[in-house]
Amino acid sequence: MNVRPFLLVLGLFLSGCDLEALLADPKVVQREADARAIGSACRHGLRSIEDCYAMNEKASKSAVFAGWKEMDQYMRDNKIDGIEPKGLRPAQAPLVAAGEEIVESAPKKAEKTEADAKKPADNAPKPAAKTDSKAENKAS
- Structure confidence by residue, pLDDT tens digits, 17-76: 666 666 778 888 899 999 999 999 998 998 888 989 998 899 999 999 999 999 999 999
Q: Residue 44, Cβ neighbours under 10 Å: how many? A: 18
C-alpha pair distances (Å), 51 with each of 41, 72, 81, 91: 12, 15, 19, 9
What are the b/e assignments for 81-95, b being 16+ CB within 10 Å? eeeeeeeeeeeeeee
**pTM of this prediction?**
0.50
- Structure confidence by residue, pLDDT tens digits, 93-136: 555 566 666 666 655 555 556 655 566 655 655 666 565 555 55
Q: At what angle do helices 26-44 and 61-77 cross, to 10 degrees?
A: 50
Instruction: Compute CA 76 distance to the chain's CA centroid, rounded to the nearest angstrom.
Output: 30
